[in-house]
Structure 1
Amino acid sequence: MSVAAVLPLAIVMVAGPQILSAVFLATSEQWRRTSFAYVFGASLSISAVVTVAYLLGGFGVREQGSTPVVMAVVVVAILGAMAHTYRTREEAEPPKWMGRLGRATPRFAFRLGFLLLGVFPTDVLTSVAVGSYLASNDLPLLDAAGFVALTLLLLALPGLSVLALGERAETRLPTVRDWMNDNSWVVNEVVLAFFLVLALT
């Protein structure tokens, strides 16, 4: 799978609490260990979901194409969710557990990465879609490596920026974190917009 093909999928995987958690962990006291643990946990769950979907043979689904009615329902549902997200933007708040990320332990970060990327509905659906696509087209499982690697790279970017830029990143990341924290509804809209584009293409 080419980078152009997996980039939208990788962005869908990390858009939302996934990348926000990575930013929080990169500004925590044990940022090196927690950031690594977070990405490592994510790598295991993403790989597991893709592999299971692949081994199940795409759930017996071959590329048949969705009917116009089904696609219309999906598009209407996404547009409805976008409208709801916008209407409730003043009430939108990040999950309470994010308040613990500033003092997170590597063990907590590992579990968080594993669960967010392996249980979060949008991530499960995306990983299953990748594994099912490869299986239904008789492509090797190894072709999912680009998707997994790109997703993990995006998750690692906050920690890598601190490692590469030092004090400059340590100064700017909290600003990014606070903006994302205060504008979580914007992140949700971006995720839904990506799904809308995927549904229409």
Structure 2
Amino acid sequence: MSLQVLPLAITMMAGPQIMSAIILVTTPRPVRTSLAFLAGVAISATVGVSVARGIFALVGSNVSIGQASDDSSVGKIVQYVLIALLLLAILRNYVKRATIEPPKWLGSLMNAGPGRAFKTGLLLIILMPSDIIVMLTVGANLEQHHEGVAAAAVFIGATLLVAALPLLGLLLFHKRAERAMPRARTWMTNNSWMVNILCCLIFIAIIH
């Protein structure tokens, strides 16, 4: 697998995903709840990449992605379409920044237990459009390099590392983290439009 796709692990957890991880470390049982969330993310990411790899294995011989230097290749056209959609999303988030609010289900995570956290981690990755695009990108990369899903272990591990940052911060800095995490949660909640724009910019920078 090309190392070029590794930064996509950041995009996998950008937005509501990392906000969920931050909220879960402020619950009554932060360690158990966060570990359950990470388990859900690990399973979801692994299954998602496996399915994406299977899709491109089936169509790979019939669809030519083309050379990276060819501006008229299917791969380049897909990149241009994605960038255009992301730019539109940035414009929409900026224009509606005064009214954009985070999903209501994020607030319900404040009292979540391990079961709810596991389900959240599982569904967030599979159902999030940006994550689906990332996993399809990884699947295409594996097909191009004639590698199996095992080669994506580093990417999945990087995704888990990003997802685990709030928990690692809690374990390493305990008291400071207990004070900082609620403030970070509040800031991200009040500035969700800015978080969305940053996610789009990161993804544009990666796929350009």
Distance 1:140 1:181, change over 3 A: same
Distance 1:58 1:49, change over 3 A: farther
Percent identical: 39
Distance 1:29 1:75, change over 3 A: same
The answer for the alignment partner of 1:5 in structure 2 is 4
The answer for the alignment partner of 2:59 in structure 1 is 59
Worse-matched range after superposition: 162-171 or 131-140: 131-140
3-state DSSP class of the match of 2:7?
A: helix
Provide TM-score, normalisation by structure 1: 0.91
After the TM superposition, which residues 46-85 of structure 1 pair with which residues of structure 2 at under 5 Å, given as runs? 46-56=45-55, 57=57, 59-60=59-60, 61-64=63-66, 65-66=73-74, 71-85=79-93
Cα distance in 2, alignment partners of residues 108 and 162 from structure 1: 20
Cα distance in 2, alignment partners of residues 197 and 40 from structure 1: 29
Worse-matched range after superposition: 171-180 or 62-71: 62-71
After the TM superposition, which residues 107-118 of structure 1 pair with which residues of structure 2 at under 5 Å, given as runs? 107-118=115-126
Cα distance in 2, alignment partners of residues 153 and 29 from structure 1: 22
The answer for the alignment partner of 1:32 in structure 2 is 31
The answer for the alignment partner of 2:19 in structure 1 is 20
- Whether the 8 Å CA contact 1:58–1:136 is kept in 2: the answer is no
Give 2:5's aligned amino acid.
Answer: V
The answer for the alignment partner of 1:98 in structure 2 is 106
Cα distance in 2, alignment partners of residues 55 and 69 from structure 1: 22
Residue 158 of structure 2 corresponds to residue 159 of structure 1? no
The answer for the alignment partner of 1:184 in structure 2 is 192
- Whether the 8 Å CA contact 2:8–2:203 is kept in 1: the answer is no
Cα distance in 1, alignment partners of residues 157 and 21 from structure 2: 16
Provide TM-score, normalisation by structure 2: 0.88
Deviation at 1:118, TM superposition (A): 1.6
Cα distance in 2, alignment partners of residues 18 and 39 from structure 1: 11
Cα distance in 2, alignment partners of residues 19 and 68 from structure 1: 30
Deviation at 1:71, TM superposition (A): 4.5
- Whether the 8 Å CA contact 1:10–1:147 is kept in 2: the answer is yes
Deviation at 1:72, TM superposition (A): 4.1
Distance 1:92 1:141, change over 3 A: same
Distance 1:50 1:68, change over 3 A: closer
Cα distance in 2, alignment partners of residues 168 and 120 from structure 1: 31
Deviation at 1:58, TM superposition (A): 6.2
Distance 1:59 1:33, change over 3 A: farther
The answer for the alignment partner of 2:152 in structure 1 is 144
Q: What RMSD over aligned residues (CA atoms) do the two structures have, in Å?
A: 1.8
Worse-matched range after superposition: 21-30 or 71-80: 71-80
The answer for the alignment partner of 2:183 in structure 1 is 175
Size of the aligned set, in residue pairs, is: 199
Worse-matched range after superposition: 128-137 or 24-33: 128-137
